[in-house]
Amino acid sequence: MPRSALVDAHHFEAMGTNCSLFGVGLSRGRLLEGEFWVRRMGARLTRFSPDSELSRFNTSAGRWIDISAELEALLRESLRAFETSAGLVNVAVLPSMAAIGYTRPLAFGQPLATDARVGPLAALPDALSVRPGAARLEPGAGIDLGGIAKGWMADRLLESLGPNALANLGGDLSAGGIGPAGTGWPVGLAGVTVLLRDQGAATSSVRRRQWGEHHHLIDPRTGLPARTGLEEVSVVAASGVEAEVVAKAALLVGRELAPVYCATHALAWWLSP
């Protein structure tokens, strides 16, 4: 059994969820810098604050506006996610979220669904255009970066935390390096410990953030909360953002095809009907 190095851990709440940063040989200051970066990015990328960069982008639909390098990177990642998931992962779900009443954090009260019917979502490349330093949304479109932002941020955190670190932002996590014992970072997945080295993990679920007949996971093929025969999917993939995309796509593709989809896109997976 290899001897374990001491793990430095830092836990905090941000973006409406629990966040944890781990590292071997990390200073307290480096961990705090990570927390501040998460808070800054969370404030810029939330759709619940009208002053956030994402909200300003959403309200500027129909014209090109300048965006930060981080938002540009996330929008490009979203376009890539749309492509690799054959359209199942579509961040242009904001109109559907509004239709089911999910316009504020659930901690502020249960959403009230409207009578609006959004229908199938437009293909993301038709709704969103990105060029260096600027982006444009088609009128009527809106973006909710959701889990993609958390997975992407977990990956970026590893670049600043160092070569042997782990970032977990509300279940979207990214693990870099050999971990405390040299065998990988021990991470819980469906009640089992797996060892991750330069890999990510994520969970997509309809069991949380649900109210009445609704939940937060929109199926872009219908514009409605997904009903696919799967309620929760956890996956390990090459990065945090990739794990998030694969977990969501696997849940949306449904019970029959999810094992095949995961076998071709994930490194480990848990499917719960």
Site residues for other proteins per CB under 8 A? 7, 9, 17-18, 20, 22, 166, 168, 170-173, 180-181, 183, 185-196, 199, 201-205, 207-208, 232, 234, 236, 243, 259-260, 262-264, 266-273
Residue 231, CA distances (Å) to 145, 208, 220, 247, 254 in order: 21, 10, 17, 11, 9
CB of 105 to other proteins, least distance (A): 12
Contact 210, 216 (CB under 8 A): yes
* Residue nearer to other proteins on the CB measure, 90 or 168: 168
* Residue nearer to other proteins on the CB measure, 33 or 198: 198
* Residue nearer to other proteins on the CB measure, 42 or 95: 42
Q: Kindly give the pairing relationship between strand 268-272 and strand 218-219.
A: unpaired
CB of 34 to other proteins, least distance (A): 14
CB of 123 to other proteins, least distance (A): 25
* Residue nearer to other proteins on the CB measure, 67 or 187: 187
CB of 138 to other proteins, least distance (A): 30
CB of 154 to other proteins, least distance (A): 11
* Residue nearer to other proteins on the CB measure, 21 or 94: 21
Calpha distance 230→252 (Å, rounded): 8
Q: Which long-range contacts (CB under 8 A, 24 or more apart) does 83-86 make?
A: 84/245, 84/265, 85/245, 85/246, 85/248, 85/249, 85/252, 86/249
Q: Where are the alpha helices (DSSP H) in 179-257?
A: 240-253
Contact 160, 37 (CB under 8 A): yes
Contact 122, 136 (CB under 8 A): no
* Residue nearer to other proteins on the CB measure, 76 or 208: 208
Residue 150, CA distances (Å) to 52, 57, 104, 159, 203 in order: 16, 19, 18, 15, 12
CB of 4 to other proteins, least distance (A): 9
